[in-house]
Each structure stands twice: as C-alpha cells, then as structure tokens.
Structure 1
Amino acid sequence: MNRTFLRLSILAMVLSILGCDKPNDLLRAPVVGLAQNNQVPILITATNAGKVRIEYQKTDEASSTFSEWNRLSELDIFSTNLMLNNVEYDAAYKYRVQFENREYSQWFQFKSFPAVGKPGKFSFIFSACMREKYMGFNIFEKIEQRSPTFVALLGDQMYGDYDGDLNKLEEYLENKSLRQKMIAASVTVLPDTTVLQAFRSKYSRVFDENFQKMASRIPLMATWDDHDYGKDNSDATYPYKKEAKRAFKESYPVYPFEVENGGIYYKFSIADVDVFVLDARWYRSPMQNEDGEDKKMLGDEQLVWLLNGLKGSKAAFKIVFSSVSLNDYGGDTSSGRSGYDSWMGYKFERNKILSFIEENNIQGVLVFSGDQHYPSAHLLNWKSPLNSISRTTRSIEYSIVDLGTAVFDFSASPLSYKKATGHSLISENQGNPDFSFEIFRPDWAMPKDATKDTPVVIGSVYGFAEVDTESSPQKVSVTFYELDPEIADMAEIYRIVITL
C-alpha cells in the first residue's frame, strides 16, 4: 500500500512539473489557412503545454472527424498547425479544439475553396499596413461582413521598428544608461528580453478580437513587407531575418513554402486560377544600389520559379501577390537613402519579368500589392492604342483580348495607418507604353504641398476582387473601398472589370 502510494505521489509530482495538470485553453482564436489538396491547416495557440487536436464536421452533417493529436510546447509559444484532411470542396464546416483533458473550445466555422482545376467563382480582400498605434476602426469586422473566400494580407501586419523599435532592443538591454535616457525622452521601451520575443509580442498586440474573429472563419493568406520583416526598407542584409521568419510562421497557418531555409514564397491554386505569393524582402539587394543586372528583388531562384510558373500555368488568370507595387509612382524613398523601395527601384528585374511575359505570350497576369498607403490601378506591358470597353467616372472595363500581354497592377492599403500620396503623375508618360499607365488613383493620393501643420489622416483601405471563370466571358472585378468617416463605414470608390 505504502509503495503504491509513493509511486502515485512521484507520478503526480512529475506530471505537475511537466505542466500536464494545468488546465489548457486557447490563448487566441484559431486561424484558418488555405485549402489545398482537400486539406485545411488551422493554427492553434494555447495557454499551456499538452496535446491538442481538432474535431470538425460539415455544418449539415452530425458525424465528426478528428485531426491527429499535436503536442504544444513552450519553445513554440504553445502554437501548432493541425491539418484537417478529406475536406470537401466548396463546403461549410464547423470545428472546435479538443485538449487532452477532454476540454473543448467553442465551435468555429469556415468555408472551403471551390474545386481546384475546374471553373469556379471566388473572391478575396487584399490590403496591408496595420500599425498598433493607429488601430481604432474595426476594419476586420467590416472585412468579415463581406465574406470573401480568403483574405490576403500583403505585409506590414505589424511594425517592428515603430511603437518600440525591436532593432534597438539588444542595445538598450545591455546599456542601462541608454534605457533610462530613452524613458526620460518618452521613447517607447519594449518590455521584451529578446528580439524574437519582441516580434511575437508585436504580432500579439495587433491581432485584436476583430482580427481573431475574422481569421477563425475566413482563410488567411499572408506575406511580409519591410516592417513586419523588421525594419523600414529592409533587405537581404537584415540581421534579424531568421527571428522574423520564426515569428511569422508562429503567427500564421502553415503555407506551402517552396524552400525550407530561405524566403517565404509559395504557390497555391483555387478553382482554375493559379496564385503566386512573392517574398520581396529575404533576397533583395539594398535599395540604394545602382539598378542593373546585379540588383535583385526576388533573387535568382525565386525569379526562375516565378517565370517558370507563369509560363507553365494553363490558368486564364494568373494572380501574383507582391508586397510592393509594380507601377512607376508608388515607391517609398524614406530612411535617408536614395532609390525606390518598390519595383520602381528594381526596374531591371521588373522589365525582365515583363519581357518574359511578352515573349512567351502570357496573358491574364494580375498583380496585387499593398505598401503605398493609398489605392491605385495601373497597366504595364501595354501597347498603344489602349482601349477600354466602357468607362464612367467611377469604373472602367477592359478586355484581355484587346490588351494582349498587358499586366494589371492593383494596390490597396492601409488597413489602419496614415494615408499617403504617391509620386507625381507624369502626364506625357500616359501615352508611352514604356511606362505604367495609371488607370486610377484617388485625388487625396496626388502629391500636395504639405507643411508641419498639415493634419495626419488615419484611414482604412482595401480592395475586393471577385473572380468568375464559370461565366462567359470569364471576368475579374476589383473594387476599391475606403473608410468614410461620416458614415463610419467602408465606401466604394472605384471599380475595374477585366473580361477574357
């Protein structure tokens, strides 16, 4: 009796040390990933160690299926990806998280993608730039209400170098005098003890309740730009890129990355459309370098992957997500360095891509980006005369039959940040096919003479893309929305329709 009691006491003590007796719960809502090959990844972040799995079922059925058990560890901030298998196309599902102590979360819901390789209809919202200092408007509630098939977050989902610069963390942790001076000067000092922890904390602070509600229901596609990569206009030389990648992978569902130890570029398909997601940071050359053959945006391997993917795609529409815009007017020139941070500063590589598209007669390439802090639409690779099917003051329609290998460039941002203006439109270039043709930019995004007294305007902008390859003709429509403060809601400002 005593020996048995002793053994049980030791076992209880071990389990207590391991944390297995601690009640577990979700730290934040699950995040639904991209449905591919009848599988859907879901990111779970909990409060403690232990095992976890997901119970799921179609909303019109009573029988459940379970994912495999995964183990949560403190090393990975108690987060893991659980894979739902045998998920049917274009179907509504509900799911909940089960912990090993037989505790369950609430039920959540999502809808899977339309069948891959077949004509279909889907939609997505795209935008970028979400700074915690300016998060006030419930933008993610508005996005959820539109019920897109997925949401594309195109970078700067948090700002590593603003509202507490994580790039200075190690410096002021080692220098108490510097830390005190910063506090005295009202400079934000982060409470974190490592750069990785600072990345994690920043993600946690911007993923508020509205974001969590949306992300638990609508599949999320993401890439990064300079600020969530870590620093304004950062490139391949950035010293904390590995910490940035680890925090990124802990914050989003698993994506089908093309390489394990490099950048975060990947491809997926939805209906009969191919989608290419670029990494415009991990491999890029410094923006101040002279433009030419040696100046890279994507790096050699990613560039070849993109070109081969576009050439090999049989899709009528090929969607490319780039964190930075392709056009000639949206490039950032901040940080006291010369050059442009967008593709405008990497024109040799940009033109290489455009020439490849033209030489191989690749039609239907649509590029979507963020970064600029204003919405815009441009055409590249176009030929004169440039004709539209129809036009109003708030819309325009084009036919790819008339445009050949022209490439559309759509950009939308910010989610929650200051509005900005682009570079001045060069009127004479509107008739020159060697330059991007500006289809749309709102008046407030045109350059104006600003002074120190010019008020800062915080805004929210997104683009809503609707793809229909079932109808004849096949078409894509892109509608831009911005926050109208008078009605405290998102208002339509311009629409572009592309038919095949």
Structure 2
Amino acid sequence: MLFMKSPRRWRIHSSFPGVVRSLLLGLLIPFGALLIHAKPPYFGNGMRNGWADQDSVVIWTRTTRFEEMNQGGHAFLNVPASLEGVIRKEGPASRYVADQLPQGAMLDEMLGACPGFPGEVRLRCYPIDKPEEKIETPWRETHADTDYAVQFKLDGLKAGISYGVELEARPIGEQSHTSAFKGAFKTAHAPEHGGPLRFCVTTCHDFLRRDDGLEGHLIYQPMQLMHPDFVVHAGDIEYYDKPKPWAWTVELMRFKWARLFSMPRNRTFYSQHTTYFIKDDHDTLKNDCWPGQEYGAVTFEEGVHLFNQEQFPARDPRYHSIRWGQDVEIWLLEGRDYRSSNRMEDGPEKSILGSTQKAWLQSSLRASSATFKLVFTPTPVVGPDRPNKKDNHANEVFSHEGKELRTLFSSVDGTILFCGDRHWQYASEDPTTGLWEFGCGPGSARHQLGWKEGDQRPQHRFLRVAGGYLSGDAWRDELGQPRLVLRHRDVYGEPVSEFAFPR
C-alpha cells in the first residue's frame, strides 16, 4: 500500500514582488501545501469546503498564529467528567478551563494548540485545466469573535469540474501577503452525466483516539489514493465530551476543532476533496443531546451555532439533496437541530427530523429520477443498536418515527441508507421492509467499541467491530445498466466486504 507524504511547507522569500510570488504559487506549489513567509497570519488549518452542487460551493478557512500545531506543548490534566458538576455548583466558570491545565500554563501552550490570529484573506478559484478562468474575491478580515474563520460562497461554477483554490493571507492593513495555501474541490456532475462515480463515507474521529500519531488518522492515506469524487463525514467529527480537554466552554470547543484539523493528514485531505459534513451529538454538545440542554458553560443552541455557522461551511437549512450524475442523488439529513427530547413519550409528535425536514425528505425522494437514492444520516434507522441507547430511529424511544421512515424509504426504489455514529462496521437488511443500511464504522483503529465481535443479529449481512471506512462505486456496465458496489474497508484501505446493487 502506497501512502501520501505529509504536506510539504514551501518558503518563498518576501523580497519577491507580489506578482512574482503569486506566479510561483500557481506554478510550483502542490495542492494542500502551505506557503510560508516570515510572519503571521498563516493557514494552519488549511481549508475545507461544503455543499458543493453543480454550480456552487462554500469554502471555509481560518487564519492562525503559527503554520503548524504546537507539537511540543503541555499535556492536559486527566480530570474526571464529574468535575463539570462540581464547577457548575461551586464556580467560578473560569475553572472549566483552568482546572484542566498544568499550573501556570496557557491554553495556547498545550499539545495540539493552533491558535488563531487576525488577518485578511483573499481567495482565487479556477478550473484546474483552465487556470486562466480565474475568479478572485475581495480581501476579507478575520476576527476573534468568529474564531478567525472566514467563508466564501462561490456561485456560477460549472458542473463536474475540478477546481483549484488559492488562498492568501496578510496582516490587517498591510499590502503584501504573508502566507498562502492551495486546495481543491470538484463540483457535482450534471444530471445527464453517465460516467463513473466514487465516494467515501466516514464517522467518529477525535484527537484522543487518532491512530497515526500527530499526523492524524490512517484512513486519509488510502482514501486520498482512491480519488473520490466526494466524501461524506457522517458526524461525531470531534468529541466535546471526551477528556484532555473536556470542552466545557466555547473556547475549549474551538481548541478541539483547531487541533483536529491542524494534523497534517486530516488538513491535507479535506483541503483537496469535496466533502459534506454532518453533525451528531458529540460535535454539537454532548452524548445524546437535544435542544435546551447545557454542557459546562455552553448551551445546546451555542453548540449548534458553532458547528452550523462558524466551524464548518454554512447553510440554512443543513438538510439538502444533491444530484451526482445520471444515476446517483444523495440526501444529507440533519439529526440534532429539530429533535424532540429523548424523554418525551413516543408517538406521532416525537421526532428526530422535525416535520418540515420530514415533509421535504418524502417529497424530494419520491420526485427523484436517480437510480440510486443514497440517504446519509448521522444515526441508524435500521440498526440493530444496543438496547441501552435512546437517541436514534433504531431505538425503542423513537420507534414511531423509525417505522414511519423505514416504510417511506423502502417504498422508494433504489433507496439505500448510510449512517455514522456506530463504532463498528455493518450492513443490515430490515427484515420487515427489506431496507438496506450501511454503517461505515469509526475512522480510527483505536475507536471501535460498543458491540461484541461475532454478535451477529438477524438483520446483519456483515459485521466487523473495527475501524475503517466505506467506499462506493457507481457506473454503467457494457449493457448500459446502472451498477453500484459498496465496500467496507479497513484503515489501510483494504476491502473487507462487498455488496452489489441492484441485488
């Protein structure tokens, strides 16, 4: 198995005129690489994109004080989860951060820190095979109140095209940029496009259980080599409610995001690939959360805003469908913003999706002409799941809406479900409706848990309690018939299952 090298850092002396530096950037620097000058701001978190369709995309980036994370910083103290309740009762709120740091240490001095820095950012975008068709945005300032992040909505793009992105940063009020970064993305294929399509699905990441040291996660090496047209991260991208540190404040939540996406493997991959990010409970607030709850000093509503508007490409609402060529359409579901309390009595009014999203889902599925209708959800609908879980459609506490959705999905030909959340890989076929669901499994070899290997239930058509990801390939065969093959893979990219559709 071949692996990518870590992204290289390129230095171009600041004495070069701006035009020359820009030319060198375009000709010499590879995608996903950092171009470093003598002073901040830098692009320590690279860039990521979201919501790509045939003619638009949202690009996210953040200006940082350093070009890389702090790899030699202090370790966080190993404090118990129960400390949250103690501080909530006794105060002061400053202890949520201070009690997790070694004496005298600052948050920016901790292992993995990638602090932000104010600056101005400009973006250039162009078809990779036609760099002369370059568009350029005005300079935009970054500030502390948005964690030094900035987003660019790009419209008027062309379908099925690979685009290059060049980012430049400079100190506020200065004329010369101090750093630059190159990334890439691909727009969705036009509905009439009949060519092959490849995608990947992953879930369950964090810094604590990474499996490639400070490089990040192993899966991004083989995924990079597969050249997927798009990737879906199906939630639990980070875990606020895991230690070192427990993210009991917005400041600590922001710290965790900056740390995760400053690891070279993760930063490089997401800077180069079209991605759709879905959130779940751990990257909204805490385990099994719902509106109205709090975690430390953070409300559920603050957690939603942090993910939806600040740390990831923004869109309202966050549920959406995108056509990817002649045979594939994807649906991205939002499972936290509109949900009822887990404690509410089950019945017609209890919902995870909310009435508006559910009505949209039903109408858009039935209206689709795609052969394969691929629905991505952060939590299971078919399962099976553990009996002690209480926050998804495979659980008894949401059984009414679960049955409603399984009936809907199974009534629309070509519908297949994909979910995150579960820390094991599986393929299941609902015995009542025949609906298929694929759990991609955790994106780390150190993150599998929650199910016993060999405990295969009647729904299971495949079960593996280990880390990895899922890949899908869609194409038309020599007779012009649409085909889809789904494969679970281990963290090194080796296939461990294969399922072909139509069945």
Q: Alignment partner for residue 65 of structure 1, among 131, 134, 152?
A: 134
Cα-to-partner distance string for 1:344-391 (whole Å, 9 max, x where unaligned): 332210111233345xx41111111111111111123756xxxxxxxx
Relative to 1, partners in 2 of residues 1:61 and 1:314: Cα closer, same or farther, differing over 3 Å? Answer: closer
Name the counterpart of 2:437: 409
Question: Taking structure 1 as reference, are residues 134 and 270 closer, same or farther at Cα in structure 2, changes over 3 Å only?
Answer: same
Per the alignment, residue 441 of structure 1 pairs with 463
Matching residue of 1:491: 494
Q: Which structure 2 segments of 5+ residues have no match? A: 1-38, 65-116, 213-217
Normalised TM-score (structure 2) = 0.71
More helix as a share of residues = 1
Secondary structure of 1:105 counterpart: strand
- How many angstroms apart in 1 are the aligned matches of 2:271 and 2:279? 20
Distance 1:284 1:252, change over 3 A: same
Asked if residue 154 in structure 1 is aligned to residue 234 in structure 2, the reply is yes
CA contact (8 A) 1:67 1:85 kept: no
- The answer on whether the counterparts of 2:424 and 2:467 sit within 8 Å (CA) in structure 1 is no
* Residue equivalent to 1:322: 377
Contact map agreement 1:329 1:423 (CA 8 A) in 2: no
Q: CA deviation at 1:322?
A: 0.8
1:200 to partner: Cα distance? 1.1
d(CA) in 2 for partners of 1:349, 1:214: 36
Matches within 5 A, 1:68-467: 68-69=137-138, 70-99=140-169, 101-103=175-177, 105-137=180-212, 138-164=218-244, 166=246, 169=248, 195-207=249-261, 208-239=263-294, 240-248=299-307, 249-255=309-315, 257-258=316-317, 264-272=318-326, 273-331=328-386, 333=388, 339=390, 341-345=392-396, 346-357=398-409, 361-380=411-430, 406-416=434-444, 417-422=446-451, 430=458, 437-442=459-464, 445=465, 460-467=467-474
CA contact (8 A) 2:393 2:402 kept: no
What secondary structure does 1:491 align onto? coil
Offset at residue 499 of structure 1 (A) = 2.3
Paired positions, count: 392
Between the aligned partners of 2:62 and 2:473, the Cα distance in structure 1 is: 32
Matched, 1:29 2:42: no
The aligned amino acid for 2:367 is G
CA contact (8 A) 2:290 2:300 kept: no
Matched AA of 1:267? S
CA positional deviation for 1:332: 6.7
Find the aligned partners of 2:279 and 2:394 in 1 and give their Cα distance. Answer: 15
Change (3 A) 1:237 1:470: farther
Q: Does the 8 A contact of 2:204 with 2:447 survive in 1? A: no
| Aligned residue type for 2:484 | V
Offset of 1:166 from its aligned partner?
Answer: 4.6
C-alpha separation in 1, matches of 2:252 and 2:187: 34
Question: Is the Cα–Cα contact under 8 Å of residues 116 and 269 in structure 1 kept in the other structure?
Answer: yes
Q: Take 1:62 and 1:329, find their aligned partners in 2: how far apart are those partners?
A: 49
1:38 to 55, 58, 64: 55
- List per-residue Cα deviations over 1:100-152 (Å, max 9, x = no partner): 63425143333333224543432211121112211132322232222111111
Give me the whole-angstrom Cα distance separating, in 2, the residues matched to 1:213 and 1:128: 18
1:179 aligned partner: none
CA distance in 2 between partners of 1:468 and 1:340 (Å): 36
Identity over the aligned pairs, expressed in percent? 19
Structure 2: how far apart are the matches of 1:341 and 1:151?
A: 23
Q: CA RMSD in A?
A: 2.8
Q: What is the one-letter code of the residue matched to 2:403?
A: N
Aligned residues of 1:38 and 1:87 also touching (Cα < 8 A): yes
Q: Secondary structure at the match of 2:322?
A: strand
Q: Under a length normalisation based on structure 1, what TM-score does the superposition of the two structures give?
A: 0.71
**Alpha-carbon offset, residue 492 of structure 1:** 1.4
Structure with the greater alpha carbon radius of gyration:
1
- Give the 3 Å change call, closer, same or farther, for CA 321–332 of structure 1 in structure 2: farther
One-letter amino acid matched to 1:439 = R
Change in CA separation of 1:59 and 1:355 when aligned onto 2, cut-off 3 Å: closer
CA distance in 2, matches of 1:307, 1:378: 22
One-letter amino acid matched to 1:41: V
Q: Distance in 1 between matches of 2:502 and 2:286?
A: 39
Asked if the contact 1:149–1:218 (Cα under 8 Å) also holds between the matched residues in 2, the reply is: yes
Which amino acid in 1 is paired with 2:239?
Y
CA distance in 1, matches of 2:363, 2:373: 12
Answer yes or no: is the 8 Å Cα contact 1:67–1:84 preserved in 2. Answer: no
Kindly indicate whether the alpha-carbon contact (under 8 Å) linking 2:54 and 2:190 is maintained by their aligned counterparts in 1: no
